[in-house]
Each structure stands twice: as structure tokens, then as C-alpha cells.
Amino acid sequence: MQQVTDTDKRYSLEEYIKLDETGMLRHEFYDGKLFAMPGETLLHNEICIRLLMVLTTILKPAGWKSYIESVKVKIENEDIYVYPDIVVMKPGEETANKSYIINKPVLIAEILSDSTRKYDSTDKFIQYQKISSLRYYLLVEPEKHVVIFYEKDEAGEWSGKTFTEMNEVIALPFFDAQLTLADIYL
């Protein structure tokens, strides 16, 4: 992640929201510091769209909402706001008066890139684990068929599994749903 040019300036939450509402760039917010979001490749965008479409298809009938890239997630009990690539939530869980900030995501997916791989798989995941409503975290490799899937159990413990075969099933029991790598990559 690249911090914005004025490294000494600390922004208030209100300044951050206004800047992000009116600016051309998206920024993540970490305790008063802004970090510019990098641009994405065509492949990254294609995988985001495929994953969004499959999640919407399997989860919308049960009332879940799926969003892509331009909504923020607030980290619970922190002054941290981030932009996931994909987020799934129940309707009505956005922040009051800010219909683009989600408080209680249930699934988050990040499409990895050379510039975000370490950040998404470590720093961002550490923050996501603070969200009590979050049940699933997917890390999707765009260049090869690899999905790293994290699931939180009833005791609040996270476990991970790597999927590499196109016919492997990623079970999402909280949603009573599943998807395969073929759903994401084909």
C-alpha cells in the first residue's frame, strides 16, 4: 500500500470521508493516515466480476447482498476503513447516513496482485479478523487457479485451506451454499 504524499498529515474521519467522496482516487484509512488504492489489471477485474456474479446468483435468493470494490468496510472497534474487492452482507448493515460503508460483512474476498499479495494475506487479514460478523475470507490468485479459503468456526477460531483443482468445492455452510474454482476461473 502506498501512503498519500503528505505523510505527516493526520486526517479526521470526516476529512477522509469527504476526500473519498469527492476525489478521483480511493483511499484506505488507518487511524488518521490515508493509503491510496492501486489500480487493477483487466484480469483482476474479470475475476472480481465472475466471483461477484456467482456469489450474487447463489446468495441473493436468501437475501444476501454482494458488492464489488467501491464500498468500504469499517474494522470493528477501530478507526480503520478498507476497500475489499468483494464483500457480502445482509441488507441494512451499512453505516447510518453512509450507504457505502459496511459494518458487518459476512464474506470478504480479495483478488491478489504483486502489489497487494502480502498486504491482503497478512495485514488486511489481521484487521478483518477483528470483525465479529465475518465468517469467510477468500484470497484469489488471478494468474493461476489457487484460492486460499479461511473460515471462522463457532468458537471464533480461523482455519485455512488451499484449493487448486477446478472441480474442488468450497463449502459455505453459513450460507448453505458452495462454489467451485471453475465458478471463479471459467
Domains of the chain, by residue range, sit at 1-37, 39-185
Q: What is the pLDDT of residue 180?
A: 96
Residue ranges of the chain with per-residue pLDDT less than 50: 1-3, 5
pTM: 0.89
Label residues 102-113 b or e (16+ Cβ within 10 Å = b): bbbbbbbbbbbb
Distance from C-alpha of 13 to C-alpha of 32, rounded to nearest angstrom: 7
Amino acid 2: pLDDT: 46
pLDDT of res. 94: 59
Question: Which superfamily does CATH assign the domain made up of 39-185 to?
Answer: tt1808, chain A (3.90.1570.10)
Determine the pLDDT at residue 23: 76
What is the pLDDT at residue 6?
59
Distance CA 9, CA 6 (A): 6
Tell me what pLDDT residue 185 has: 94
Per-residue pLDDT at 5: 46
